[in-house]
């Protein structure tokens, strides 16, 4: 029978290599057979609780082995997985739970109080369940996750018919401009994504990847499914933790690092006498590195590639939730060669994945010439089913038969894409459009700068004023004037920041993406 069911990935790997380690988290080590049996028992418990195919079940937690069990159990019984960002506030949580119409809510014990306070505002939730990670007692009436994985439940495979267009994940966008939208990704979407992962990310069954990106993020679900499908040993941490990473890379023989540039940048700030040599020794088992979510500045990339891990295979990844999360990859052979062109064209993000067709269009959906800025539009079997209960936004995104990403880019004569900016992040100043990524890339080259974010702030004269927020390197002090002078020497006048603010830290979400809306709120009115 024709079947695309994400839960089958784990079942097949457990049959193929039952004794191979699947997951390492804290002191827990699970083989594929052990993981599959726990998943089946939790799936049986969910069925006894009345969860059926098509029901939405939500989870709010940091990364843990229980999270993995939850994901695969839902996949096997056809429930929709709705992961929530653990940084969300109470009002944001209740909005998503009610919009998703979640019937069950699984919550890490450290976050239970936040949810318990608003339970009355989520009348559709029939059962609550606590994950014991910190030893906190669960509220009265709440279920215990580990008990639902106990041997009192059957470890036989669930017998549920899954159709390729059945929804597997209901992932909510960040909602930077409006209320978060629920992205419906089907079982077929995820299968088509795996085809790309095998070829574009070069993951093999012999890899030991890190699974540290938060599991509420589409990228970590992708990497988890890919790792399980191949039979890799995944090394997972509660959150992105440089100290734990430095301990576990040599101990577990980690071969594959997958992180946003912020982590690679942050590691360079470690208080070691010769940090480059220290990292080179600590990461001696690493063979492949994947950067995603933002541009890696040339100065940072060169340090890692030329001094720290010169023998590793480096990649840069661009994708989005609506594409489950495909897009483009810049491969190792082109990594530094194309980064050299970033100042001219934008952030080098490579070529479309094997299952993705892409092009750049103008406001009227006409394809733009080589070298000109246009919106990235795509067609692929990985394109989402649509936005949940939002036909208007779905139709808007799918107009003229292509998914409109809202991201601006250029393409060169070799077919390589260069990310310019998100439409919403372009600074419109004095009638000109300025790419925040371009200005950030330049400021990163300043020898005193450790981190930078560029935003547009309301200005009565310019409309929006280009504004830079910078973090000095350890032991350095930065004056506003020297950054502005540096920019004037290297950028057109309209791109030069009108103001530069020096801070100790730039706010980022757990995936390493800069929270520019927080910066805009903080510095509003200070231009």
Q: Which CATH architecture has domain 426-523?
A: 2-Layer Sandwich (3.30)
> Which are the contacts of 247, defined by CB distance < 8 A and separation ≥ 6?
none
Cβ-in-10-Å burial (0-12, 13-18, 19+) of 357 comes to exposed
Fold of the CATH domain 7-163: Rossmann fold (3.40.50)
Question: Are residues 72 and 58 in contact, defined by beta-carbon separation less than 8 angstroms?
Answer: no
How far is 241 from 259, CA to CA, in rounded Å? 11
Q: Are 268 and 282 in contact (CB under 8 A)?
A: no
Burial 492-522 (b: 16+ CB within 10 A, else e): eeebbbbbbbbeeebebbbbbbbbbeebeee
Give the integer Cα–Cα distance in Å for 195 and 355: 8
- Assess whether the region 194-423 and the region 426-523 belong to the same CATH fold: no
Give CA angle at 244 (239, 245), nearest 5°. Answer: 90
DSSP string, 475-514: T----HHHHHHHHHTTS-GGGS-SEEEE-S---B-TTS-B
Query: What is the residue extent of each domain of the chain?
Result: 7-163, 194-423, 426-523
For 61-78, write each residue's pLDDT tens digit: 999 999 999 999 999 999
d(CA 218, CA 220): 6
The backbone torsions φ and ψ at residue 514, rounded to the nearest 5 degrees and listed phi first, read -70, 135
Largest CA distance in the chain: 70
| Terminal-to-terminal C-alpha distance of the chain | 63
Q: What percent of the chain lies above the pLDDT cut of 70?
A: 97
pLDDT range class, residue 491, cuts 50, 70, 90: confident
φ and ψ at 526, to 5 degrees?
-110, 15
Q: Tell me: the pLDDT tens digits for 153-204?
A: 999 999 999 999 999 999 998 654 457 899 999 999 999 999 888 899 999 9
Return the CATH class of domain 194-423. alpha beta
pLDDT digits 0-9 by tens, 246-277: 999 999 999 999 998 878 988 998 888 899 99
Q: What is the rounded average pLDDT of the residues 408-422? A: 91
Model confidence at 512, pLDDT cuts 50, 70, 90, reads low
What is the structure's pLDDT at 176?
A: 45
Of the candidates 157, 129, 146, 155, which has an alpha carbon nearest to the alpha carbon of residue 65? 146
């Amino acid at each position: 029978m024709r079947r695309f069911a994400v839960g089958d990935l784990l079942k097949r790997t457990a049959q193929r290599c039952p004794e191979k380690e699947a997951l390492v988290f804290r002191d827990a080590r699970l083989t594929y057979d052990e993981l599959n049996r726990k998943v089946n028992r939790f799936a049986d418990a969910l069925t006894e609780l009345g969860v059926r195919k098509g029901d939405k079940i939500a989870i709010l937690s940091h990364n843990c082995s229980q999270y993995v069990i939850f994901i695969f159990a839902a996949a096997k019984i056809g429930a929709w997985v709705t992961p929530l960002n653990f940084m969300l506030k109470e009002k944001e949580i209740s909005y998503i739970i009610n919009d998703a119409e979640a019937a069950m809510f699984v919550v890490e014990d450290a976050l239970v109080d936040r949810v318990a306070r608003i339970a009355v505002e989520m009348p559709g939730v029939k059962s609550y369940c606590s994950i014991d990670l910190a030893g906190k007692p669960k509220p009265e009436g709440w279920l215990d996750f580990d008990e639902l994985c106990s041997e009192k439940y059957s470890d036989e495979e669930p017998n549920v018919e899954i159709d390729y267009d059945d929804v597997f994940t209901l992932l909510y966008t960040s909602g930077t401009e409006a209320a978060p939208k629920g992205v419906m990704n089907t079982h077929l979407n995820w299968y088509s994504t795996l085809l790309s992962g095998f070829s574009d990310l070069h993951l093999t069954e012999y890899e030991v990847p890190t699974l540290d990106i938060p599991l509420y993020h589409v990228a970590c679900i992708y990497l988890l499914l890919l790792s399980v499908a191949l039979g890799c040993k995944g090394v997972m941490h509660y959150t992105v933790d440089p100290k734990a990473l430095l301990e576990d890379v040599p101990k577990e023989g980690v071969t594959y690092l997958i992180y946003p540039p912020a982590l690679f940048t942050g590691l360079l700030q470690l208080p070691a006498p010769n940090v480059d040599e220290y990292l080179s020794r600590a990461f001696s088992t690493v063979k492949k590195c994947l950067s995603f979510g933002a541009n890696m500045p040339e100065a940072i990339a060169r340090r890692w590639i030329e001094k720290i891990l010169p023998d590793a295979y480096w990649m840069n990844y661009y994708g989005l939730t609506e594409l489950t999360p495909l897009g483009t990859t810049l491969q190792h052979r082109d990594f530094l060669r194309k980064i050299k062109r970033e100042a001219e064209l934008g952030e080098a993000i490579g070529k479309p994945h094997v299952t993705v067709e892409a092009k750049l269009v103008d406001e009227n959906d006409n394809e733009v010439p080589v070298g000109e800025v246009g919106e990235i539009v795509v067609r692929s079997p990985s394109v989402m089913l649509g936005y949940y209960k939002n036909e208007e936004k779905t139709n808007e995104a799918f107009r003229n038969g292509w998914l409109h990403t809202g991201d601006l880019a250029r393409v060169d004569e070799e077919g390589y894409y260069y990310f310019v900016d998100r439409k919403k992040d372009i600074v419109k100043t004095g009638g000109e459009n300025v790419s925040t990524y371009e200005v950030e890339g330049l400021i990163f080259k300043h020898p005193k700068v450790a981190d930078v974010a560029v935003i547009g702030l309301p200005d009565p004269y310019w409309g929006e004023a280009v504004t830079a927020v910078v973090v000095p390197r350890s032991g350095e002090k930065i004056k506003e004037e020297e950054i502005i002078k540096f920019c004037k020497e290297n950028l057109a006048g309209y791109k030069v920041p009108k103001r530069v603010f020096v801070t100790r830290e730039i706010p980022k979400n757990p995936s390493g993406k800069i929270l520019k809306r927080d910066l805009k709120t903080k510095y509003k009115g200070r231009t």
